[in-house]
Amino acid sequence: MATLRVVHYLNQFFAGIGAEDRADTPPDHREGPVGPGRLLQQALGDRAEIVATVYCGDNYAGEKPGAVDEILDLVAEHRPEIVIAGPAFSAGRYGLACGEVTRRARERLGVIAVTGMHIDNAATEVYRTRLHIASTPRTAAGMADGLAIMARLALKLASGTALGTPADEGYVPTGRRIFEMAERPAPLRAVEMLLRKVRGEPYTTEWPVPRYHRVPAAPPLQDTAQATIALVTTGGLVPHGNPDRLESGFATKWLRYSIAGVDALPPERWQSVHGGFNTSRINEDPHRVLPLDVARELEREGVIGRLHPEFYSTTGNTSVIPTMRRFAQEMGRELRAAGVDGVILTST
């Protein structure tokens, strides 16, 4: 088998250019392995050769428009079959650069691309479904371990053999589903897993549960009488007939409707399209999911300063968490820009 050509990507620090003060270093390259690249070469053995190392300052890679294109131009000069970036450990900017360089290398150059970082690096959430990311320790003390996993992953992907589980191979779960037939039916596997667990023997779940990100609650409003309050609901409330086609489950969008000068939501004009519960009570009286009537009273009484003239709506049913996170971020940005101080979120 011919030796595979590898280009290794590093930031300015690991390339030996300098620390934070050199984070603006533009992309450049050198023949052969540099710094941790020597360990990587050992891990790759004789099946692959690091023909060049491309490096760039973290700030330059993250902030300069077109930086990743410049990096990829340098990578392409060396005609690699494999691109390996990092590992970035817990470093956020470096992680994002490694993620973007490997993603784009795969898409633009059609090469095998692997990076490595710690599971808590913010870049894993961004890139894990699109890349194979080796799961590394938090700090560079775990350099040898991280590089060994990256080398093994890269060679395995290059050879075209199927990858094992994330736990066995040491990569961050990509979320990709493989539908298959197990050797034995589920009831037998379940009883055996339970017996192993209750006997204190090792067992492995077939389906790891996700780790949820906790969102810290915002501090309470100091003075609601001065505050602008918006109404937001995941109850699927839309104008009658659902003109914007909000989904009843698996929502792909959120919507915004004017309530300027409106004191009530009559059932002949508003309805819920939520598909996860019996909507008939809401369709009798839409205030049950969006309390505009009470909110207007509070506004008149001066308990709240002002009601935001639009409400936000989506359907919180069989929702995909990253999608919902994005909805919240998009809504939050708009509401903040509109000077909204607080939100009454009615869920179902």
Please report whether residue 217 would count as binding other proteins according to CB under 8 A: no
Task: Specify whether the CB–CB gap between 117 and 87 falls below 8 A.
Answer: yes
Q: Judged by CB, which is closer to other proteins: 121, or 317? A: 317
Evaluate the omega torsion of the peptide bond into residue 87 and state whether it is cis, within 30 degrees of 0.
yes
Q: Are strands 255-258 and 310-313 parallel, antiparallel or unpaired?
A: antiparallel
- 194, 294, 303, 338: which one binds other proteins (CB under 8 A): 194
- 110, 177, 220, 301: which one binds other proteins (CB under 8 A): 177
Query: Looking at this protein, which amino acid is placed at residue 186?
Result: A
Q: Judged by CB, which is closer to other proteins: 65, or 176? A: 176
Interface of this chain with other proteins, residues 110 to 139, rule: CB under 8 A: 129
- 188, 225, 294, 303: which one binds other proteins (CB under 8 A): 188
Q: Judged by CB, which is closer to other proteins: 2, or 209? A: 209
Characterise 112 by phi-psi region: left (phi > 0), alpha (psi -120 to 50), beta (else).
beta
Residues sharing a CB contact under 8 Å with residue 343, sequence separation 6 or more, in sequence order: 229, 230, 231, 232, 335
Helix (H, G, I), strand (E, B) or coil at 29: strand
Q: State the nearest-atom distance from the C-beta of 345 to other proteins, in Å.
A: 15
Q: Are strands 28-31 and 48-56 parallel, antiparallel or unpaired?
A: antiparallel
Interface of this chain with other proteins, residues 280 to 319, rule: CB under 8 A: 280, 317-318
- 322, 332, 333, 338: which one binds other proteins (CB under 8 A): 322
Please report whether residue 178 would count as binding other proteins according to CB under 8 A: yes
Q: State the nearest-atom distance from the C-beta of 285 to other proteins, in Å.
A: 16
Partners of residue 84 on adjacent β-strands:
8, 114
DSSP string computed for 207-240: SPPPPPPPPPPPPPPS-GGG-EEEEEESB-EEET
CA dist 68 and 61 (Å) reads 6
What sign has the CA pseudo-torsion 7, 12, 14, 18? Answer: positive
Please report whether residue 234 would count as binding other proteins according to CB under 8 A: no
Please report whether residue 279 would count as binding other proteins according to CB under 8 A: yes
Q: Judged by CB, which is closer to other proteins: 3, or 129? A: 129
Binding segment (CB under 8 A) for other proteins, from list 86-94, 143-151, 167-175, 293-301: 167-175
User: How many residues are given for the chain?
Assistant: 348
Q: Closest Cα partner for 299 from 290, 313, 309, 286?
A: 309
Residues sharing a CB contact under 8 Å with residue 147, sequence separation 6 or more, in sequence order: 36, 39, 40, 43, 87, 116
Please report whether residue 278 would count as binding other proteins according to CB under 8 A: yes
Q: State the nearest-atom distance from the C-beta of 233 to other proteins, in Å.
A: 16
Structure tokens, 320: 């995909």
Q: Judged by CB, which is closer to other proteins: 38, or 281? A: 281
Q: State the nearest-atom distance from the C-beta of 181 to other proteins, in Å.
A: 5
Q: Judged by CB, which is closer to other proteins: 180, or 268? A: 180
Binding segment (CB under 8 A) for other proteins, from list 54-62, 92-100, 203-211, 251-259: 203-211
Please report whether residue 252 would count as binding other proteins according to CB under 8 A: no
Please report whether residue 179 would count as binding other proteins according to CB under 8 A: yes
Distances (CA, A) of 201 to 193, 196, 207, 212: 9, 5, 18, 28
For residue 167, how many other CB atoms are within 10 A of its CB?
12
Q: State the nearest-atom distance from the C-beta of 197 to other proteins, in Å.
A: 5
Could you list the residues that contact other proteins (CB under 8 A)?
129, 163, 165-166, 173-191, 193-195, 197-199, 203, 205-210, 212, 250, 275-280, 317-318, 320-323
